[in-house]
Amino acid sequence: MASDPVRRKAARTATIVAVPIALAVLAVSALAFGGFGSKAPPPEATGPVAMTTRGLTDDTVQLCQLVIANLPDSVAGHARRPVTAGSEQNAAYGDPPITVECGTPPPTVGTTDEVFKFVSVGDDGKLYGVCWYPAAGDGRTVWTSVDRTVPVTVTVPGSPDGSGQLVAPFSVAVGENIPLRDAGAIPTGCSQTPPTS
């Protein structure tokens, strides 16, 4: 049976049109899903983070144990990691690690220095507000609570911009478990009483 020249021409035209379209779809898919040699980001480290212990009073140890025990399992997608020392007073998240230290020395806050109150909702539905003082430098921002009887320090690596968003989730554990300081000891710009529901 002789082939139909009209059908042959139509098949050839369809092939000429279909091949470039298929190649274009393939290229767009590869770019969208990480093809052409791009590498997936390496997985975050999960091993212990090097931290040191601090000599704390028995009362401070008890408060810190409550804080550390009530910290979230993850913060902004960064999973909690073990620490090499002081697991009752230290915690860490992600890679490079965000670190939490309870019972740190209080920072010196000037009368015009800015402090920031981060409020978070606890599992009990209450709002917990904690005032934090930031000190940026060395490729990190060190945030220390300034309205509680026992200071807690959160160190966030990287730019100070947006670092407060990584500190706010710790306000519940701190606000729930560490009492407020006397009103006269709380820096200007931070109210003594956190809001409640």
**In the Cβ-directed half-sphere of 150, how many Cα atoms lie within 13 Å?**
25
Q: Tell me the mean pLDDT in the region 3-29.
A: 55
Q: What is the pLDDT of residues 133-175, one digit of tens each?
A: 999 999 999 999 999 999 999 999 999 999 999 999 999 999 9
- C-alpha span between 148 and 18 (Å, rounded): 69
Using pLDDT thresholds of 50, 70 and 90, give the confidence band for residue 125: confident
Query: For residue 44, what pLDDT is reported?
Result: 72
pTM: 0.75
91 or 3, which is more confident? Answer: 91
Q: Tell me the mean pLDDT in the region 44-50.
A: 87
- C-alpha span between 171 and 182 (Å, rounded): 19
> First vs last Cα of the chain: how many Å apart?
86
DSSP reduced 3-state for 93: strand
Return mean pLDDT, the chain.
84
User: What Rg value do the Cα atoms of the chain yield, rounded?
Assistant: 27
- C-alpha span between 79 and 94 (Å, rounded): 6
Using pLDDT thresholds of 50, 70 and 90, give the confidence band for residue 195: very low
Residue 20's φ and ψ, nearest 5 degrees, are -60, -35
**CB 13: neighbour CB atoms within 10 A?**
10
